[in-house]
Structure 1
């Protein structure tokens, strides 16, 4: 088993969760949020550096303390959102709990989290981390194509997470997301078909861009996956959730942390980060490398043929996730749906799952 990184558990102050950018940048609130890790020092100035809005908002800032010391921070949460978006608060709570409970135990490169502020009754949270960019890290774009060597390095990080899956015993707050997606009702079949009939489905076969087929395949995959050994998986490991630091590749964005089959993560990850023509050539070798990593961590894994069949089925998870996505830049959606949809075509994932 790899040596576990020694990380401190973040501070968890019992204060209100900000709902606006103005509130998150308030010096008095930040001083209260960071009091435990800064010995209660007053903050005299907060300078906004960058605001990145997707579903959640990431705010890079520089705070200056009364003694003149400055610190680069990144705060993440749902800020200035409408009521519909605010319903995603439980995913922010999930990410905060990852940093509180999981990150200190796993040998995965993640940002240094200083504090999490959680309203468990209202199901909202913000996470306050050190700003990795200040420390020289770079974040990959969601559209950055990985090389096979890049993918091998990021698979190593996923394997280190998966290898700590004994944590799932008693951690009922980490849920089987695939089965929940399959039962989801807020995207109707008609709405899904309309999405697939748009630019995102342009380069896919009629069979694969059928909403009815995709929904049936996702339901069957969830049923099969629920009967397999369950791992602690990232759930959304595309290139946009990867950073490069001095020590190597690391992983961010833990809002879809879940329990599920290992192949949900691996098939999604490889087909999201690799260009189609590279995935066609390299994915089976890379999957084999992943299996070797896991066995090196002491994990029992299926033989390669069984694993390959599971991988081929599991491509559907990532394809479904991006097929239903709406609140992301359209070019990102189009590229991921095409990469993952073509993987479904290449592997005949629907046929593997029993669809005629």
Structure 2
């Protein structure tokens, strides 16, 4: 068997393993450390999980719940502890296939690790985390978070930010990235955020080929033919792309900085849903945010200044970077939100509503066209030592 076929077989084995794990997990509930759904969250379980006497938690009531890439619920809690009266709960998704997907790509594991990495002093505003636990055998995860529904403003991808809000997000991301810039924790307690197995990489290539090898979904008509052709680089040369980005300084990034994963409190940004947190060059978060969260004309008007601001803020935190180099990386990194939005649109409404996915694709297409981002990316992986000035 050739190496490529072996890795493909390993990818199929990975999916099969996690499919059986999720199936068995749902069928055999006895002995689980983490609830499978919000109905299993009792006062006694919560007390045990928090390490407090069972008498300290009087009651836990589910106020509302819904499930997508994770199962989310709002809880009313009566207790004699430090817990507030209302909490936000995240558990494995109810849908079986989404449960398998979460296991395959370790989405719950990454979010638990991210909250654990922040500790009691997060470098960015996140919901306060009261509990972050994983059952490693079942690969179930539970997060018990601050309920922001009464204090925060939430938006979706179809919305946009003001210039002041964009600057505030860039400042916040610079603080996050500076905290973990080239940290040796990626070889220690955060190693799972820095590693992908060959099977995971190959599986990603197969998924990309399925979604963007031939683009036929509801946004196909707004994607230029040259972008449909150039995007094949994502599965034809994924190893080269990964090798280039791995050669750059890495930090802890959020990985999915669109407006649906942000909230605002009196203009101050906060970040939700850390399921794709990873060790990667920080400029990816900036490119993703600007591309997804600003109207195209406004993004083109202010994006260079936002990248300069990012470089300056990193410097304020003691991280020295080259502004021209960072700008070139930004232009190449715009291909990442393009990939995410086009794949989401190709997956159909089971992943995202057509209204939302279309806006994301429109903004990403405009950004790639303005910066010739696929050409920049190709030049970087062909000759990383001679980066174009841009």
Larger helix percent: 2
Partner of 1:149: 164
| Partners of 1:159 and 1:230 in 2: CA distance | 13
| Partners of 1:299 and 1:111 in 2: CA distance | 26
Equivalent of 2:270 in 237, 243, 250:
250
TM-score, with length taken from structure 2: 0.77
* Deviation at residue 47 of structure 1 after TM alignment: 3.3
Contact 2:205 2:234 in 1 (8 A): no
| Partners of 2:277 and 2:327 in 1: CA distance | 23
Partner of 1:3: none
Q: Secondary structure at the match of 1:334?
A: helix
| Partners of 1:70 and 1:261 in 2: CA distance | 36
Partner of 1:223: 243
Gaps of 5+ in 2: 1-30, 383-390
Equivalent of 1:65 in 79, 103, 106:
79
* Deviation at residue 202 of structure 1 after TM alignment: 2.7
Contact 2:44 2:54 in 1 (8 A): no
Change over 3 Å in CA distance of 1:94–1:283 after alignment to 2: same
* Deviation at residue 178 of structure 1 after TM alignment: 12
Which deviates the most, 171-180 or 108-117? Answer: 171-180
Aligned length: 336
Partner of 2:25: none
| Partners of 2:148 and 2:275 in 1: CA distance | 19
| Partners of 2:175 and 2:210 in 1: CA distance | 40
* Deviation at residue 346 of structure 1 after TM alignment: 1.3
| Partners of 2:268 and 2:340 in 1: CA distance | 27
Equivalent of 2:291 in 271, 291, 316:
271
Partner of 1:208: 227
Contact 1:217 1:350 in 2 (8 A): no
Q: Secondary structure at the match of 1:145?
A: coil
Partner of 1:18: 35
Partner of 2:359: 335
Tell me which of the two structures has the higher relative contact order, counting C-alpha pairs closer than 8 angstroms and 6 or more residues apart.
Answer: 1
Partner of 2:44: 28
| Partners of 1:18 and 1:222 in 2: CA distance | 36
Which deviates the most, 239-248 or 170-179? Answer: 170-179
Q: 1:60-139 maps to which residues of 2 (within 5 A)?
A: 60-65=74-79, 71-89=85-103, 90-134=106-150, 136-139=151-154
Partner of 1:8: none
Change over 3 Å in CA distance of 1:222–1:184 after alignment to 2: same
1:262-298 deviation line (CA, Å, top 9, x unaligned):
2211111111111111111111111111110001000
Partner of 1:306: 325
TM-score, with length taken from structure 1: 0.84
1:233-276 deviation line (CA, Å, top 9, x unaligned):
11111111111225821111111111111221111111111111
Change over 3 Å in CA distance of 1:52–1:339 after alignment to 2: farther
| Partners of 2:297 and 2:225 in 1: CA distance | 21
Partner of 2:174: 159
Partner of 1:350: 374
Gaps of 5+ in 1: 1-13
Which deviates the most, 314-323 or 324-333? Answer: 324-333
Q: Secondary structure at the match of 2:232?
A: helix
Partner of 1:168: 186
Contact 2:212 2:228 in 1 (8 A): no
Partner of 1:4: none
| Partners of 1:40 and 1:247 in 2: CA distance | 40
* Deviation at residue 151 of structure 1 after TM alignment: 1.0
| Partners of 1:218 and 1:268 in 2: CA distance | 19
Partner of 2:340: 321
